Amino acid sequence: MPGIFWVVPAAGVISVIFAVLLARNVLKRPTGTPKMKEIGDIIFQAAWVFLKRQYTTIAIYSVAVAIIIGVLVGLLGGTEVEGLSQFDIGWRTGVAFLVGAVCSGVAGFIGMYIAVKSNVRCAAAAQKSLTEAVNVALRGGAVSGFLITALSLIGVTVIFFAYGGATNPQIAPHLIVGFGFGASFVALFAQLGGGIFTKAADVGADLVGKIEAGIPEDDPRNPAVIADLVGDNVGDCAGRGADLFESTAAENIGAMILGIAAYAATGNIAWILFPLCVRGFGMIASMIGIFFVRAKENENAMKALNRGYFVAIALSVVGMAVTVYFMLDNWWLFGAGVVGIAASVVIIFITQYYTESRFKPVRDIAEASKTGPATNIIMGTAVGFETTLATALVIGISLLLSFWMGDMSGVHGAFGTAAATMGMLMTCPYVLSMDTFGPITDNANGINEMAGAGPEVRKVTDRLDAVGNTTKALTKGYAMVSAGLAAFLLFQAYLDRVSFIKYGESGLYNIVDIARIEVFVGALLAVMIVYLFSSWAIKAVGKTASKIIEEVRRQFRADPGILAGTSKPDYARAVDITTRAGLREMIAPGLLVVLGPIIIGVVFRFIPGYDAAMAVAAVLMVGTIGGIMMASYMNNGGGAWDNAKKMIEDGQLKDDEGNVIGKGSFAHQAAVVGDTVGDPLKDTAGPSLHVLVKLLATVTLVMCPLFVVV
């Protein structure tokens, strides 16, 4: 065992302690006025009810899928590991799936719980100063960020050694792929269910509240406002927490599989443990970065967050160098790791350019709003599609550079892409902290609005809310590009696994022939899955939002005192409608992604003359490419629409005479429509596509034995 491996358990334990101390610091802070506490409690109870229902549903499906995996792999998988029967391989894979699913579920609950407890405290802190509010929001977000990533690191490490990693390190990574599949499975449903809930509530609240009734956002007279605030937590916190948990777990396992070939050649287990150690140093670097966030009262909070991020980046480079020096002594692989770290920085700036109101894309959308909703939507769509260029260039150049460095290192080029992916994931705890910062500040803004905190306090939380929109967009861009870098890594891991099953060693099955008809058909079906999944996810938001719109209109008609402010709306009914509809609508698109690759592979397996493993390889690669490009359009286009609306609400848009065009104007109404169109793209379908891309990889890795005829 390499001496430096101590950093893995140390980083895991220290991160948990750090998160607990941050949680204590946040929870000791005041909750504000009794009215603010009351609203915070309502949000917490509603979010808790939704998550319990959601994860009960997911648990039932998870147990069923684990049993099916165990049976199918046990019966059809063939004996791929000497000394283990088909039955042994099947039950171990099923158990690993369940462990990954449970850990992912816990990650989702952690993300939601801490965020909801932080938002009312952030609202109260905003009454003191911007600095205090930033501290509460970031520390609350960091609790989730560090607990979730620590859970991922500890989970992969423990199951690796539990499955014989110390004695058979070349075998164990193949046995733990079920862990990544379980994490991906839960993450997809968590992201989908939370995304449908949050955007249906948001759309319903905006269209009836802002457009029809002419009342402000987060107005307490709106029956959907609590559901909207709850949605920020179950979608952006629980869903994204599960998403990045499975990202780090699945990509870690894929990198470990690629290290097997180097281990076989050298006998050095460091090649397999390298990804774990890199992530350990990344967690320490991110922890130190948090301490460097010191917001100034008249400063854009984004600058303060960026300072901490760049400290984490610099320390990550140092950590990569230390890991490479002590474990591999191969500086080409250090270069590949730095390529991944640099890619994370570049994509952060690209996302900021396309989603912040300081820059041309968002300003163009706001200008287009002057002539109505149609021109707003046309411009926003164009901006979203344009972002695919930068995304493709960042991923493509990073892969080419890291693969070349992997070749120059004397190891397979694919291990260079693995080093790049691990480099990019080093700052995951910090990025996830920034992501959770977004919904905390959004909820704090809503709580202050509902509690009547006053315009001066709202100015503080409005500023933080706009920054939060950007941090959420940054995290989506980060998750998307990490999926892109990991795509080739996981594709190579799949080919290595096929080779291992078919020939008993890696590297022999390494060509996918695009001239074969089953490859073309597999690629065609993969793109179909991406588009059909997106369609069903967006349609689910529309159908659920329609129910909320009808309910809000019904309450306004039935009780005129609601709009007059003399009676309270029925928040609970709106939450219940959104919960039931959201959970019902998440099932079909989720099962499409899980079952699609399996059905394609099994069908081709039993048709004579076709190579099922090659057809599934096409599904994996082309589905990944299609999903990344679609997610780029949805995430960045939706974020740009949202901040164009906020730009108008902040009074930054002017007419030809220099007069401010603000809230309630024709341009503002057009921007609200554009924002409403972008909502299900950026917060439901787009983030879910990140999980889809990685789920395609994990499901094909786990079910690989079904597609190979030995």
When pLDDT is cut at 50, 70 and 90, the band that residue 524 belongs to is very high
When pLDDT is cut at 50, 70 and 90, the band that residue 367 belongs to is very high
- Write out pLDDT tens, residues 193-229: 888 888 888 887 777 776 677 777 677 788 888 887 7
Residue 181 near residue 699 (C-beta atoms within 8 A): yes
When pLDDT is cut at 50, 70 and 90, the band that residue 15 belongs to is very high
Distance between CA 546 and CA 455 in Å, rounded? 32
pLDDT score of 571: 83
Residue 501 near residue 80 (C-beta atoms within 8 A): yes
**Among the ranges 37-41, 254-258, 518-522, 679-683, which has the highest mean pLDDT value?**
518-522
- Write out pLDDT tens, residues 701-710: 888 888 887 6
What is the average per-residue pLDDT within 475-500? Answer: 80
What is the average per-residue pLDDT within 603-618? Answer: 91
What is the average per-residue pLDDT within 403-415? Answer: 89
User: Is the pLDDT reported for residue 82 higher than 60?
Assistant: no
Backbone angles phi, psi at 163, to 5 degrees: -95, 25
Of residues 106, 88, 100, 24, the one with CA closest to residue 62: 100
**Among the ranges 104-118, 452-466, 617-631, which has the highest mean pLDDT value?**
617-631
pLDDT score of 336: 94
Residue 426: CB atoms within 10 A of its CB come to: 30
User: Is the pLDDT reported for residue 79 higher than 60?
Assistant: no
CA distances from 647 to 118, 457, 462 (A): 26, 19, 11
What is the average per-residue pLDDT within 377-390? Answer: 94
pLDDT score of 78: 52
User: Is the pLDDT reported for residue 366 higher than 90?
Assistant: yes
What is the average per-residue pLDDT within 421-430? Answer: 90
pLDDT score of 507: 66
Distance between CA 646 and CA 530 in Å, rounded? 30
Lowest mean pLDDT among 18-22, 203-207, 413-417: 203-207
Residue 680 near residue 537 (C-beta atoms within 8 A): yes
What is the average per-residue pLDDT within 410-430? Answer: 89
pLDDT score of 344: 86
DSSP letter at 215 equals P
661 strand-pairing partners: 653
User: Is the pLDDT reported for residue 9 higher than 70?
Assistant: yes
What mean pLDDT, rounded, does the chain reach? 85
pLDDT score of 457: 76
653 strand-pairing partners: 661
What is the pTM assigned to this prediction? 0.85
Q: Which residue has the tokens 């099922």?
A: 612
Domain boundaries, the chain: 3-357+420-534+580-624+689-707
Lowest mean pLDDT among 78-87, 270-279, 622-631: 78-87
When pLDDT is cut at 50, 70 and 90, the band that residue 373 belongs to is very high
What is the average per-residue pLDDT within 540-554? Answer: 87
Higher pLDDT, 525 or 587: 525
Scored b (16 or more CB within 10 A) or e, 53-74 reads: bbbebbeebbeebbeebbebbb
**Among the ranges 360-369, 459-468, 476-485, 660-669, which has the highest mean pLDDT value?**
360-369
Distance between CA 99 and CA 4 in Å, rounded? 27
pLDDT score of 83: 61
User: Is the pLDDT reported for residue 691 higher than 90?
Assistant: no
When pLDDT is cut at 50, 70 and 90, the band that residue 370 belongs to is very high
Residue 384 near residue 534 (C-beta atoms within 8 A): no
User: Is the pLDDT reported for residue 84 higher than 80?
Assistant: no
* DSSP-based helix, strand, coil % in the chain, nearest 5: 85, 0, 15
Of residues 501, 490, 499, the one with CA closest to residue 275: 490
Angle subtended by helix axes 666-680 and 517-558, to nearest 10: 130
What is the average per-residue pLDDT within 358-387? Answer: 93
pLDDT score of 56: 87
Q: Which long-range contacts (CB under 8 A, 24 or more apart) does 222-225 make?
A: 222/552, 222/569, 223/551, 223/552, 223/555, 223/562, 223/569, 223/570, 223/571, 223/573, 223/574, 224/548, 224/551, 224/552, 224/574, 224/578, 225/446, 225/450, 225/571
Residue 431 near residue 478 (C-beta atoms within 8 A): yes
User: Is the pLDDT reported for residue 77 higher than 80?
Assistant: no
pLDDT over 70 percentage in the chain:
96
